Structure 1
């Protein structure tokens, strides 16, 4: 899709050390109605949204959040 191409292009210009997802089915878009790009959501392994940033994010905060979640035991968000 055109949106996927934009995300892929942006990701090439602004690489990050984590996986970037593309919402082809628009489920996040419908649920959260982001107004800017990029919009960053951190979703833990249990499917709980643990952080959201609109526009260029605070990458130090994003990385801290990711590191905390990666080191947390499975099921810790419940």
Structure 2
């Protein structure tokens, strides 16, 4: 995946297992879920995903997918 452009804006989709539990900016998801902004951002990192793969006991992990706003606007 290409590196984000400076100033690029993102939306996040937060999943618990297969269920979408929240979507919006990192700030909106943080507020809706009662988590810190850094936690929402971390849920979308490759390092976090790799950590989950190493853990065997996590059936329904909380994860986030970061989507550039440009892509959302193009799909409308």
Q: TM-score, normalised by structure 1?
A: 0.31
Structure with the higher fraction of residues in strand conformation: 2
- With the length of structure 2 as denominator, give the TM-score of the two structures: 0.31
